[in-house]
Amino acid sequence: NSYYKNRSRPCLQHQIKRCTAPCVGLISKEDYADDVNHTVLFLEGKNTQLINGLVKKMEVAAETLEFEKAANFRDQISQLRKVMERQYVSGTEGDIDVVACEMQNGVACVQVFFIRNGLHLGNRSFFPKTPSDKTPEDVLSAFLLQFYLDKNLPKAIILSHQLVEPELTQQLFNEKAERKVNIINKPRSERARWLKMAKSNAVVALNQKLQSRENTRDRLAKLKELLVMNGELKRMECFDISHLQGDQTVASCVVLNEDGPLKADYRRFNIKGVQAGDDYAALAQAVSRRFSRAKNQEHAPPDLLVIDGGQGQVTAVVQALDDIDYANVVVIGISKGSDRKVGMEKIYRGSDGKLLVLSADDPVLLVIQQIRDEAHRFAISGHRQQRGKVKKKSTLEQVEGLGPKRRQLLLKQFGGLREIKAAGLDDLCTVEGINKALAQRVYDFFHDGANV
């Protein structure tokens, strides 16, 4: 990772004692491995085992007169014991999940509590897409089968509702776990209190989700009014361009509807055949490719298209849409202007080029900023991935006799250039298609001093 490889000094997290700065070598590999193992033990709920290990280290440090180190271990032990007191759930042994479902206005929320070795390790909220005619029983039945598809099953699962086909689910879970999994929907005493807590959390999360959706709908309604749109405004898409000095250009397309970001419909487009740095042509190509999918009925066209850019970018997109018979799509652009201050953005309307003036706290501006920032984030992350692929490919291309297929096999087996460089000659020979002579060339390439 070049981000950490090029770092010369630790960041603020180290200064406030929240990180041991492994990125700049301020902790040994052995001590860092211990930290990782301790974290794993903590997340698995094995706090007693973790504390016993820290006690031994504290005693060793004290005996060798490393009192500051011993004091650090003492503080860790104290904090762990406080956490255990807060996490402890009485009357339980083994692993238990508590799963509760609440529904309101056609929206379902499933809350999962994770209890491991008597400790409440946390909880998560899920909002599965649910047809309006489904019941909590239907939602839970479908959710459990998907949720535990790639996860280890606990000894017991406490449910807020009866399953639609309890016998079949029980059989499937028993076969997957190779033991009996207790499915309980009418718990008593302490377990009933856990279920009540999970249901309460589900209600809170559901209300927050509904409130967020209501806020988004209100903002979309005000945006529609501002733009004097005749049709509905239920789906917005935003395009952004990212490149490195004109090279490796990537366009991102993100989607926002009444429920918030629709990440399943996000797309990236690798721009080709465009002059370096020509954002207008890059946007036109990306929009044309996106709307060709709409013609093929892969994705419905948006009601509003937002462009991260000024009047020039908006004009290029409007022309591209006109060329492919989508001139009816409403287009706006958002530009930070010359001073590039957040809240001082300029909004351009594509139909007439009119500049729309909005205050910094206007809800309409907030929803436009939201989708613009998401498009920017998505474009940058995609561009970083592409840069990484190009860097790996271009570096290995310099090895004589190493073709595309063997380069791919090397990267697949070792994971990256750093791992390939660290591999020995015998390790390189284990890759399919790499003989000893070629392995020697790869090894020499990374160890002759010029390609480090």
Q: Residue 423, exposed/middle/buried by CB under 10 A (0-12, 13-18, 19+)? A: buried
- What's the whole-number mean pLDDT along residues 236-251? 81
Question: Who has greater pLDDT, 429 or 395?
Answer: 429
The fold adopted by the segment(s) 95-208 is Nucleotidyltransferase; domain 5 (3.30.420)
- What's the whole-number mean pLDDT along residues 91-114? 87
Question: Who has greater pLDDT, 45 or 435?
Answer: 435
Residue 117: pLDDT band by 50, 70, 90 thresholds? Answer: confident
- What's the whole-number mean pLDDT along residues 14-30? 86
Do the domains 235-383 and 397-447 sit in the same CATH topology, yes or no? no
The answer to whether residue 336 scores a pLDDT higher than 50 is yes
Are the C-beta atoms of residues 164 and 174 closer than 8 Å to each other?
Answer: no
The answer to whether residue 116 scores a pLDDT higher than 90 is no
Percent of the chain with pLDDT over 90: 30
| pLDDT for the residue 452 | 44
- What's the whole-number mean pLDDT along residues 197-219? 92
The answer to whether residue 69 scores a pLDDT higher than 80 is yes
| pLDDT for the residue 343 | 62
Under CATH, to which class is 397-447 assigned? Answer: mainly alpha
The answer to whether residue 304 scores a pLDDT higher than 50 is yes
Strands 107-116 and 95-104: antiparallel
- If one counts every other C-beta atom within 10 angstroms of the C-beta of residue 34, the result is 15
Q: What is the largest CA-CA distance in the chain?
A: 81
Domain ranges of the chain: 2-87, 95-208, 235-383, 397-447
- Determine which of 158-167, 283-292, 323-332, 386-395 has the lowest per-residue pLDDT on average: 386-395
- What's the whole-number mean pLDDT along residues 67-91? 74
- What's the whole-number mean pLDDT along residues 261-275? 88
99-130 b/e (C-beta count within 10 Å ≥ 16 → b): bbbbbeeebbbbbbbbbbbbbbeebeebebeb
pTM of the model: 0.61
What is the residue type of 49?
Answer: Q
Structurally, at CATH architecture level, domain 235-383 sits in 2-Layer Sandwich (3.30)
The answer to whether residue 331 scores a pLDDT higher than 90 is yes
Residue 374: pLDDT band by 50, 70, 90 thresholds? Answer: very high
pLDDT tens for 376-406 read 889 888 767 766 665 555 677 778 888 888 8
Residue 164: pLDDT band by 50, 70, 90 thresholds? Answer: very high
- What's the whole-number mean pLDDT along residues 315-340? 85
- What's the whole-number mean pLDDT along residues 424-448? 86
